[in-house]
Amino acid sequence: MDIQFHISTDEQAISPICDFTYSWCLNCGLPEQEATKFTIAVSELITDIILFAYPDKSQGFFDLTFRQTLSNIELIASEIGEPFDPDKHRYNAQEAIENGVFEGAGLRIIRRFTDDFLFINRGKEGKEFRLQKSIDVHKIDKLLELSRSEKPREPEGQASKVPYSIRQIIPSDAEDIAKLVYRTYEYSYTKEELYFPKKIEQTLTGKEKLGVITRSDEGEALGYFAILKKSDSNIAEVGEAVVSPAYRKQGIMSGMMEHLIKVAREHHFDALFGKAVTIHPVSQRVNQKFGFISTGLMLLETKNVVFKGFDEDYPQPVSVVIDVLPLKQTTSKEIFLPKKYHDILLETYNLLDIPITPKQPEYYEMAEKSDAELAINYADSTALIIVKKYGPDFRSVLQEMLNSLIKQENPNAIYLDLPLENSATPAQLGKLDGLGFIYCGLAPYFHNESDYLRLQKICIPFNFDLVDVHSEFGLQIKSFITDEYSKHT
């Protein structure tokens, strides 16, 4: 959940912001010393904004976003004050000692007291500063490493079939879900939050996930399967699937998937989607069995995947197939298909049975300035840029964001979502020539119930032969992406 503030450039705001930051850090799980360091970094940043961003105005405003995940916290500060280049304000220790010149000292403190500091010049949208700190979740990373060398052994043979029932999960199931994950995988499951009953309970209480649990007639938890609601659209991601090893091959997973689809329809979601790993085709086959359609292939999407029974030394980050299951009938909508990807996008829509009216705009309107949202996945070394509006500065803003990400974050991949219901998209796609983006796929309903063309920029070498895709159309998407990637490299 994000916490957002719109703050005036008044020096009296510094103290309450720091008080809130410190308390927030503690609540997120940072130890006191690290919370103090992060708060000092935030204090330096907002002090610089308040004192120097608007020198010719008596008052300006800036925005702060506090963002938390299980493994890190992030503060995003955005302002539209006068231009600034941090590379021109480097701290010089000799100058400080000899002449008392401390220019750049604040930025040095910010870098020292955070795990990651990113600056992005967004042109007419102003500037963005991102401060990130990793959270040590009870040394679970060490447990994960241990589990990779000492995996739990599967029970010999299969348990005899037992009567069971499947129902929707409630907060009181949290402890049993955590125990089920542990008993199945010990500490090799990729989603660390599932080892913390309180974290599970919070997401269930906050309606962030919906799911089902399978229990025997004696009450033993046999399986768990959940869907995670997307924060910016009325769709949900299928994930977090566990079946106790002794009770596999008894139809539990299929039964839970049927229940989940029913639950999703009852909650009136527009669609379900899944990210099926390409290290093996098992999850892809399950999705296809229930009518999911492959719509894209995200290369190098995650590096934090651990699978029992598979080679742990997988030589590259794992790619995923985007599988989508539409859940409701829709009326035809106008979609502006770029000529370059017209055929493959149209075929994807036809397979999804989503009615569209393809359009080629005779003219299009631009916003005064571009609006693009950036989300960084620090754990997986990836980033997603979502274009909301196109302005005359679109390429320059995007170029600056890419330069900042590549220079400061060294990502494996950068994904870019372009709105297909925006008449400017076909023309603006041409502005991306030379930036290294290739096709990824169709992302229907992914943001604000609208459809997006997802592109991807691959920043490290990788091997296509290690990407295992199951469905016929998925293979067609892979072939299309492989050809385009070969032309770019």
pLDDT in tens, 293-322: 999 999 999 875 555 445 456 789 999 999
The stretch 70-94 carries a mean pLDDT of 81
Higher pLDDT, 375 or 124: 375
Q: What is the pLDDT of residues 139-156, one digit of tens each?
A: 444 444 444 444 444 444
- pLDDT of 302: 87
- pLDDT of 235: 97
Whether the predicted pLDDT of 17 surpasses 80: yes
β-strands 164-168, 209-216: how paired? antiparallel
Closest CA to 104 of 115, 119, 121: 119
3-state secondary structure of 292: coil
CATH 3.40.630.30 residue spans of the chain: 163-269
- pLDDT of 154: 43
- pLDDT of 94: 64
Q: What is the mean pLDDT of the chain?
A: 88
Residues in the chain: 489
Assign residue 368 a region (left: φ > 0; alpha: ψ between -120 and 50; beta: otherwise): alpha
Q: Considering only 160-164, 249-253, 369-373, 420-424, which range has the smallest mean pLDDT?
A: 160-164
- pLDDT of 397: 93
Q: What is the pLDDT of residues 280-299, one digit of tens each?
A: 787 899 899 999 999 999 99
What CATH number labels 1-136?
A: 3.30.565.10
Whether the predicted pLDDT of 370 surpasses 50: yes
- pLDDT of 142: 46
- pLDDT of 260: 94
CATH 3.30.565.10 residue spans of the chain: 1-136
Closest CA to 438 of 403, 406, 483: 483
- pLDDT of 395: 95
Rounded Cα distance, 223 and 151, in Å: 20
Q: What is the pLDDT of residues 347-368, one digit of tens each?
A: 999 999 999 999 988 889 899 9
- CATH number for 163-269: choose from 3.40.630.30, 3.40.50.620, 3.40.50.300, 3.10.290.10: 3.40.630.30
Higher pLDDT, 140 or 193: 193
Higher pLDDT, 103 or 476: 476
Scanning 29-167, the segments in alpha helix (DSSP H) are 32-52, 93-99, 105-113, 140-149
Q: What is the pLDDT of residues 200-241, one digit of tens each?
A: 998 888 888 899 999 999 999 999 999 999 989 999 999 888
Rounded Cα distance, 339 and 197, in Å: 49
Rounded Cα distance, 393 and 162, in Å: 63
- pLDDT of 139: 47
